[in-house]
Chains A and B, each alone.
Chain A
Amino acid sequence: MRGVTGAVPALFEFVHLGVRGVGDRWRLRDVNGSIAPSGVTALVGLSGSGKSTLLRCCNRLEVPAEGAVHYRGVDIATLDVLQLRRRVAMVFQRPTPFPGTGRENLQTADPELEDEWARELLARVSLGPDFLDREATELSGGEAQRLCLARSLAVDPEVVLMDEVTSSVDPAARRSLERLARSLADGGTTIVWVTHDLAQARRLADEVLLVADGRIAGVDETNAFIEEDANGE
């Protein structure tokens, strides 16, 4: 695991990206950097550093006031946003099961989803077929988060953006989600993983981007940050 060197062709590229906050504040300012097209890339940083905002720029839940995000070399502002979001899926910090059964949740993503494929999706996230008929809003945090991941996978995305997905689940569920992310990446789905937990990033990620004070830190600063944290343990 290392800081980004920019030697691999980018999946996402941020070019002088700026996102406004409230009043005169900027949540991100002059962000430049790129995310590799395979494996797990972690965006780490303290709360309020702008890492979630950066992630949300990748599927146009946020739009920049300045600069651009490129996806596979194309400015995402020129892409059809609904199609972009089916290629670049997202799982959120708080589990968001929709009212209804597991099956109904999966069918929100794909209304033509047949039970056979639905069971496979559940199996990929280590949920049994009985979750098809269970009420989604009654699941535990970890189960709900896995269902949300299965729902995102139902659109067959190339990338899954995961925004602090383990911060509101118990440690067992956290490890399970980390293993899932790793296995998805190993199976060819690129993962962009936002976390404030550097130890988690070190466990999980192939590459780390440090987001600090509304920008992506350079390689040296990132490596120093990683080393400092490692020495502190």
Chain B
Amino acid sequence: MANDIGWLGLAASLVLVAVAVALSFWQRLSLERSIVWATARALVQLLLVGVALEFVLDEPLAWSWAWVLAMVLFAADTVRRRAPEVPGVFQLSLMAFAAAGVTTLLVLFGLQIFPLEPKTLIPLAGMTVGNSMTATVVVARRVLDELRDKRDEVEARLALGIAAPVAAKPYVRAALRTALVPQIETTKAVGLVFLPGAITGLILAGTPPLAAVKVQAAVMYLVLGAAATTTAVIALGVQRRLFSADHRLTVPPRVSA
């Protein structure tokens, strides 16, 4: 079974990092320090996570829920750092990930697709949140950019006596499409272009491939549903914050360089 490579195996895989360092040196990319630092950081982070998971997976479910909450907080903070101009994005992200989490976990555990236990809750919640983060950042920025760049058009709609949510609709729709299309494309390409992490891990651990692909398919659908939920919550939330209660567009114009 290939599910424990041992410390020697891990050390041996550092040869591949040495290849990256050597290539950087040869091509004078000056990235050797970054590569070594990233490798060391990844190892330390993963070891810490591994130790923590060893503990949490053996403890009552409450610890796993705490882990999930920490993940959601960290993810919302990551979205805030990647989309700092969007007003209220931290609170909106929290709501969005919470909404997606509740929906997807209700389906996965409520419909008994997976048994509810630490070793299913943490990875599945992690995949829900982690894979919808990119779409969340994209939609938050796109709604802001659309309403800012098409300000004249938006105000022309408002000036016709159209209420703000209706005036914003075409632009919010465009932002949602921009955020969701990549996720849909990824779902279409799975299996053809790449074998995602879940299926790889399961096969390495000895799970029969057909069983592994069923899990992977369920995970892909979970991620798609989660991305759709988070982007919808974020898009509607951001749009509401960019208009005043009396139907004025309050997003400041882009500051020109």
Residues of A within 8 A of B (CB): 59-63, 81-86, 89-90, 92, 94, 96, 98-99, 108-109, 148, 151-152, 155
Contact = CB atoms under 8 A, between A and B. Distances in A.
A134 B247 CA distance: 30
Contact of B246 (A63, A92, A98, A148): A63
Contacts of A62: 248
A139 B20 CA distance: 55
A109 B247 CA distance: 16
Given A81-B246, A82-B247, A96 B153 contact: yes
B251 to A, nearest CB: 13
Contacts of B246: 60, 63, 81
B157 A108 contact: yes
A85 B161 contact: yes
A64 to B, nearest CB: 12
Given A96-B152, A96-B153, A98-B153, A90 B248 contact: no
A130 B187 CA distance: 44
A151 B107 CA distance: 48
B155 interface: yes
Contacts of A59: 159
B123 to A, nearest CB: 44
Given A82-B161, A89-B160, A155-B160, 8 more contacts: A63-B248, A81-B246, A82-B163, A90-B159, A96-B152, A96-B153, A98-B157, A109-B160
A182 to B, nearest CB: 22
A108 B159 contact: no
28 contacts: A60-B248, A61-B158, A63-B246, A81-B246, A82-B161, A82-B162, A82-B163, A82-B247, A85-B158, A86-B160, A89-B159, A92-B152, A94-B152, A96-B152, A96-B153, A96-B155, A96-B156, A98-B153, A98-B156, A98-B157, A98-B170, A99-B170, A108-B160, A108-B162, A148-B156, A151-B160, A152-B159, A152-B160
A85 B159 contact: yes
A61 B161 contact: no
B161 A83 contact: yes
Contact of B161 (A86, A92, A96, A99): A86
B156 A92 contact: yes
Contacts of A86: 160-161
Contacts of B160: 85-86, 89, 108-109, 151-152, 155
Contacts of A82: 161-163, 247
B161 A155 contact: yes
Contacts of B159: 59, 61, 85, 89-90, 92, 152
Contacts of B248: 60-63
A112 to B, nearest CB: 14
Contacts of A151: 160
Among B152, B161, B170, chain A packs the most CB atoms within 10 A around the CB of B161
A61 B170 CA distance: 20
10 A-B pairs closest in CB distance: A86-B161, A96-B156, A85-B161, A90-B159, A82-B161, A109-B160, A96-B152, A81-B246, A96-B153, A81-B247
A79 B209 CA distance: 67
Interface string B234-257: 000000000000111000000000
Among B155, B159, B170, chain A packs the most CB atoms within 10 A around the CB of B159
Nearest to A98: B153
Contacts of B163: 82
Contacts of B161: 82-86, 155
Contacts of A84: 161
Contacts of B162: 82, 108
Contacts of B170: 98-99
Contacts of A83: 161
Contacts of A85: 158-161
A63 B247 CA distance: 11
Nearest to B252: A22
A135 to B, nearest CB: 15
Contacts of B156: 90, 92, 96, 98, 148
